[in-house]
Structure 1
Amino acid sequence: MIRLLFPLWLLASPLMVQAHFDDVPDLATRISYQNRVTGADGIARESHWQEKWMRVGDQVWSQRLIPLPLARAYHATHDANPGHKHFTHQMAARWVTHGEDGGLQLRYADAWHNQLVEVPTEEYGQVGFTPDWDKIRYLVDPALLQGMTALDEAAPAQARWYEKREGKQRTRILWSSQWQIPLVVESASLDGYRSYRMEVTPKSLPKQLPWQQLDGYQSLDLRDFFD
């Protein structure tokens, strides 16, 4: 997991930064992740995964892309086991809604079983969820940019590279002011033994949003799956 350990240095005017985030566009994306760690045994271990991510108004939908044969095999084994079934949130789409009162509603849509599972606040730890709306909405907290150095490097239109070095780690963010998201996040140790990269590709919004396709889903609470 990426580690963003920045002090919030005010290298830019807070009013100017806030103005950039007043209008947040709706968009759909494809996100690719790559994580590489070289252990003390000299073996380099790499992880790659992708997800679909969508932001519309005060709702954010994210879904890991799992090859159908693997998902089918997992569910066939999981569902065949007798007894109580636990909920595997990693195999479902995450749906976060930001309420007018500032609170968050967390639900998972399991298309395999046609179940919509709500997670109460006190059970966020069960699914590893951190209720940080700015990070959920923008993929990284935009306030981090205030503590980073803007770079004069080649970048796509309406985007700019930012960099921060702290201790033995360097982090770079390619921020899109057009889409209000990072197009790239890179984090690496200066010795080269750890690295992380997230790359975001904007896509067209679908004609029908995923949370509009949940008719017939059984509404459950995460605690319904507890022993």
Structure 2
Amino acid sequence: MMRGPWPYAMLALSVAGCSKSDPAKPGADGPRPDPHGCLAATISHHEHTDDRDGVEHDVHYKERFVRCGDRVWTERILPRGVPGEAAHGHEHHAMPATYTMARLVVRTHDDEATLAMVSRAERRIIAVTPESYDAARFDGTFDAAAHILSSRAIATMPRLEGREAPVGAEWHGRSGAAGAVRVLWSKLYDIPLRIESESEGAAKRDTIELALEPPPLASDLPWAGLDAYEKKSDMDYMD
């Protein structure tokens, strides 16, 4: 399955250890909070791994994130031309490369939600069946998709004192035998602005940063116009 979009397993709360360096203070500027709770952001992922052989690996990628009402849209930001080339480069009966498709999470009841992959190149919506949720790194809840990681999990994490934070935000963290996780949670926007995690010994260190943007108009929401797309299931691509 594709990298991300959210390493939920990495952000499990059974983690330990503290960062050896304090990152630069996050910026305090941001768009005015939307009265309807809509939010848009560019999410930057930074993943660093120190291998036992002394080789270091760094991975960087970005995603577009839009949350409004009962929908959440996450889409990898790719170089121009890549999505179309990738989508038309596979056999017709095979599912398009996952990184070329957007993830659309829709709340169905309370905190329950469904997941679909949206291929703009093929004008197709592929419903992901519950049997495939684990492979898709989707836990079936709207809370985790809308907040990047569960807001209920954040509520159980102690507040970290002594770290600077923008107005309306505060640091939370927890450590354990497997590593550590620290979250800069914005109560103003109801979203984490920065997530830091590391394994025990800090051989693996990951950071997620959100650059908030004004939410799009209703007519420009990424899921507008999907009614005309072909509807399929991921089971249609199974051998």
TM-score by length of structure 2 reads 0.78
| Partners of 1:107 and 1:116 within 8 A in 2 | yes
The aligned amino acid for 1:187 is S
**Cα gap change, 1:156/1:66 in structure 2, threshold over 3 Å: closer, same or farther?**
same
| Partners of 2:159 and 2:170 within 8 A in 1 | no
The aligned amino acid for 1:3 is L
- Give aligned-pair identity as a percent: 25
Aligned residue among 176, 191, 207 for 2:186: 176
Q: Greater share of helix residues, 1 or 2? A: 1
**Cα gap change, 1:214/1:26 in structure 2, threshold over 3 Å: closer, same or farther?**
same
- Indicate whether 1:88 and 2:128 are aligned: no
Alpha-carbon offset, residue 3 of structure 1: 3.3
Alpha-carbon offset, residue 101 of structure 1: 5.6
The alignment covers a number of residue pairs equal to 209
Distance in 2 separating the partners of 1:90 and 1:109: 11
Aligned residue among 45, 52, 65 for 1:40: 52
Partner residue in 1 for 2:148 = 139
| Partners of 1:153 and 1:161 within 8 A in 2 | yes
**Cα gap change, 1:180/1:192 in structure 2, threshold over 3 Å: closer, same or farther?**
same
Listed one character per residue, the Cα deviations across residues 136-161 of structure 1 (whole Å, up to 9, x for unaligned) are: 12111122332323323221110111
Instruction: Write the mapping of 1:208-223 to structure 2, written as runs, cut at 5 A.
Output: 208-223=220-235
Computing the radius of gyration from Cα coordinates, the structure with the larger value is: 1
- Indicate whether 1:156 and 2:134 are aligned: no
CA RMSD of aligned residues (A): 2.3
Partner residue in 2 for 1:16 = none
**Cα gap change, 1:92/1:157 in structure 2, threshold over 3 Å: closer, same or farther?**
same
Distance in 2 separating the partners of 1:113 and 1:72: 8
The aligned amino acid for 1:152 is G
Distance in 1 separating the partners of 2:191 and 2:223: 22
| Partners of 1:109 and 1:116 within 8 A in 2 | yes
SS, match of residue 74 in structure 1: helix
The aligned amino acid for 1:148 is P
TM-score by length of structure 1 reads 0.82
Listed one character per residue, the Cα deviations across residues 81-116 of structure 1 (whole Å, up to 9, x for unaligned) are: 5x6323433311111111136532222210011111
SS, match of residue 143 in structure 2: helix
**Range with greater deviation from structure 2 (67-76 or 211-220):** 67-76
Unaligned runs of 5+ in 1: 8-22
Unaligned runs of 5+ in 2: 1-6, 16-34
The aligned amino acid for 2:213 is K
The aligned amino acid for 1:150 is L
Instruction: Write the mapping of 1:91-102 to structure 2, written as runs, cut at 5 A.
Output: 91-100=100-109, 102=111
